[in-house]
Structures are given as structure tokens and as C-alpha cells.
Structure 1
Amino acid sequence: MQKVDILAIGAHPDDVELGCGGTIAKMIAAGKTVAIVDLTRGELGTRGTDLTRAEEAAKASEILKVSARENLEMKDGFLQNSEEYQLKIVKMIRKYQPTIVFSNAIDDRHPDHAKAHKLVSDACFLAGLPKIETVLDGQPQTAWRPKQIFSYIQWKNITPDFVVDISGFIDKKIEACLAYKTQFYDPGSKEPMTPIATKDFLESLTYRAQDLGRLSGVEFAEGFTTEKLLAFKNFDGIVL
């Protein structure tokens, strides 16, 4: 067991960096611990290979300074909310015992993203049931349920329930994303063009964060949706 404050889960290597890389960088700078779990190897990606994605994910992890990163090697493009896949995530939740889980967007262009959101949400609930027994590395695990599940926003412009001010961390987010050099804009690349490999998509990482910042009164922000109503103990930390 390696307890962390936040467990960020993504269907594919690069989902987490794109969706909440700035928030992760900010939380780690503030002394919080973060681990990342990728559900698939991204083996169906048009550009690069599963091997290059693994190398790029390791580089991005170094940039963000996350405590750990794992890949569950589920089937890219064919995620399903099955008992097998649920239990794989349950084991990760019980291993890292996070207070908060970040998950894929509730709806998105790639079908794996919404499927991953539901899969993670269900696994977070199941992880708290003591009668579901799991064993990791030969040791029985203790039931654990995260306090909150927050879903980051990806391709679609989903209205967030709240935003995190990432002013001062947008450059770190972009750096972590560009660690995936096979996936994003490179004018010298001979790989096939994809929607996320365009110059416009790369620029959108900044202007979308800037627009959420404009709406919330900060320079840059990342948006999240939440499954349950949030309660504030006080107004400390809110940008007024």
C-alpha cells in the first residue's frame, strides 16, 4: 500500500495530462501526493505505438513528479464495465487509498472516455465494500472508498461544476503533454494527421484554460464535474 492524496485515472496514457495536468502539478507543488493509473496502453492510437506511449508516459510522470504510475493493460477501444475491469481498479484504489479520484470526462468524442468514467465511478463504490475480497502481491487488501470523484473535461466543452486555478502551472501542463511527442503537433512528423495532432489542438490547451480563467476571474483554470454536491467548510481558497 502506497497511500496518496489523489489518484488520477485515465483511459489512455496522456488523458490525465491533457485533462488535469495543471491541477496535478499545482497539488504536488503544494505538498500533495498523486499517483496515475492508465487503464489501457493506447495501442490503437493512430500515431506511435504502445511502446512509445509507455516511454512518453514515463517522461510525463517525471515532469509532473507524480509518486507512481501504473498501467492496467485493459483493451484499448473496447473498455467495458465488467467485473474483471472493475476489480482491477478496485485493487488500485485499495492500494493507493486516495481521498480524491480524478476520472475521465462524463461524455466525450472517444467512446473509451465516458466508459472509463462509469467504470471508475462504480469501482470507487465497490472498493468500499468489505465483502469484496481482493489480494495484491499476495496480501489481502482493506476496503477503501474515496471521498470524492472529480471528472476532468476533455474534447467536448462540458460546463464544469467547478474550476481549479492553474495560473503559474499552465507551462508545466503543456510540457507534460508534449512529452507525448508522437501524439501531438510536430510539423516535421511523417505520422498520419489526427484531430489531436493539429496545431489548433495544441493551442487549444492554452486558450481553453484561459477562457475558463476568464469566466472565473483567474488567468488559467481547469474544469471538473462532480457526482455529488460539494460542501465548503469556509470560503478560504475561493477566488473572490
Structure 2
Amino acid sequence: MKLDILAFGSHPDDVELGCAATLAKEIANGKKVGIIDLTQGELGTRGTEKTRFEEAQHAAEILGVSMRTNMEFADGFFVNDKYHQIELIKMIRKYRPEVVICNAKEDRHIDHAKGSQLVSDACFLSGLLKIDTKTEDEEAWQEPWRPKQIYHYIQWKNLEPDVIVDVSGYMDLKMEAVLAYKTQFYDENSKEPMTPISTKNFTDNIKNRAIDMGRLIGTAYGEGFTVDRNIAVDSLFDLK
């Protein structure tokens, strides 16, 4: 199955928090979208591997993505090395996305920057002919594939966006997908320990940030992304 967009998150819920409204908008426009979680979030203070998996599948159903899978890399301890790069190259070549979206390049959680660089490196290496990978059945050789664009969503830190997508009309769906992670976010009746993302302030700020991003481009809501390249347009009139 070929995808238009493949979104990566170091942990289940990263993608929902970072770019769920953008994905929902593209799906509504007929694009095929997939999500790959690098880890199971097993070191998280709240929830378990099982609950995180169930929540991730529920969120995927809400968004209507074409596929979602988990690489089961070690939460907190995965590294950007040949093994992990090859595993991601196999997925990139399998789904052949035009666009890849991944973690913030700089953030509070160490896995976010690591995941961002790992995915970026795998996207480049995936285009090299002499890196030999095979399909899951180990029979067919995979053709090289390099995504045309890589975007990094913004997470804990308020990084300056290079691109802001108008996601007006899709914030309710984003919030529904985010709140599918019932163990992770604010619940006044929860007996689990408090974390930086389980406060009411954090949940409220998801929509507040989108409002502020929208303000910058003159829309109701926006989601911001950073890029590692110069942005090209055919005409100055293409810019909004």
C-alpha cells in the first residue's frame, strides 16, 4: 500500500498532539495517511504498554488513517544507529510516502529529538540504491525510495514555525484523537501520579496553541511545522 503521508512519533500520542488536525484535513481531502510509533511508551509514568496500544488504535480509528504500527524500539534508550535506520528504511520503502512528518528537532523529552533525527536520516538513506533491504517475507528486494518532503511538528517547546497549516474545522477531531489516550491526559478522577502532560493546563493549551498558530496566519486554528530546507514556490502569489 502506497501512502501519501507517513507520520512518525517517538511515542504513542506524539503524532496526535503534533499534527492530528493536519492529518485529518489531508484524509478528508482524499490522501492516504499512515502512522508509525517508534516505541510503546513503556517508560511513561501513567498507563501500560497494553493501554497505550489500545488508545493508539482508537485514536487511529478516529482519524481514519490507512495504517498504524509500532516499531517496538526501546522507550528512552533507542539510538540512531544502523539497526534502527534499516528498520525504518524498510517501512519507508514499503509505504513509499511522498511526505514524512516526524518529531520536533528540539524538545523537552530526549526521545523527540532522537526520533526526529533517526527518521530524517532513514528518509535520506532509503533513497540509496546500494542499501539492500527486503520485504517482510525476505523474498522480494525493496526498491529505493526517498520522500519528497520532511516536516517536523512542534511539541513541548514553542519553536518558531516555518510553515503553518490552516486546520480550521479539524480541531474537534484532533482533540477527540488526543483524548483517546485516557491514561495520559487530564482526568480529575484519576488516581495515577500527575505528570507534565496530565494537567488541565496542558490539555487546555493544546487548543490554545492552535488558536495562536491560527492567529499568525489569520485563521481560527493552525498547526506549525519546521523544515530543514528552503521552501520553494512557483510564484509569489502561491503564498497565503
The TM-score with structure 1 as length reference comes to: 0.97
Letter of the 1:66 counterpart: V
Output the CA distance in 1 between the equivalents of 2:145 and 2:212. Answer: 37
Shift of 1:206: 0.4
Root-mean-square deviation (Å): 1.0
Deviates more, 1:130-139 or 1:148-157: 130-139
The match for 1:133 is: 132
Shift of 1:137: 1.9
The match for 1:215 is: 216
Shift of 1:232: 1.6
Per-residue deviation, residues 4-30 of structure 1 (Å, max 9, x unmatched): 000000100000000000000000001
The match for 2:45 is: 46
Q: SS where residue 136 of structure 1 aligns?
A: coil
The match for 2:83 is: 84
The match for 2:189 is: 188
Change (3 A) 1:220 1:137: same
Output the CA distance in 2 between the equivalents of 1:73 and 1:126. Answer: 21
Letter of the 1:103 counterpart: C
The match for 2:9 is: 10
Matches of residues 137-148 of structure 1 in structure 2 within 5 Å? 137-138=136-137, 139-148=140-149
Shift of 1:230: 1.3
Matches of residues 1-240 of structure 1 in structure 2 within 5 Å? 2-138=1-137, 139-234=140-235, 238-239=239-240
Output the CA distance in 2 between the equivalents of 1:26 and 1:233. Answer: 24
Shift of 1:40: 0.3
Per-residue deviation, residues 173-231 of structure 1 (Å, max 9, x unmatched): 00000000000000011111000000000000000000011111111000000111111
Output the CA distance in 1 between the equivalents of 2:173 and 2:111. Answer: 26
Shift of 1:130: 1.0
Shift of 1:238: 4.5
Q: What count of residue pairs does the alignment treat as equivalent?
A: 238
Change (3 A) 1:45 1:19: same
Output the CA distance in 1 between the equivalents of 2:147 and 2:71. Answer: 19
Output the CA distance in 1 between the equivalents of 2:237 and 2:192. Answer: 48
Q: SS where residue 195 of structure 1 aligns?
A: coil
Change (3 A) 1:206 1:225: same
Q: Once superposed, which parts of structure 1, at least 4 consecutive aligned residues long, lie more than 6 Å away?
A: none
Output the CA distance in 2 between the equivalents of 1:235 and 1:62. Answer: 38
Q: Structure 1 regions of 5+ residues with no counterpart?
A: none
Shift of 1:233: 2.7
Shift of 1:79: 2.1
Output the CA distance in 1 between the equivalents of 2:150 and 2:188. Answer: 38
The TM-score with structure 2 as length reference comes to: 0.97
Change (3 A) 1:48 1:237: farther
Output the CA distance in 1 between the equivalents of 2:102 and 2:161. Answer: 14
Per-residue deviation, residues 33-57 of structure 1 (Å, max 9, x unmatched): 1000000000000000011000000
Output the CA distance in 2 between the equivalents of 1:76 and 1:140. Answer: 30
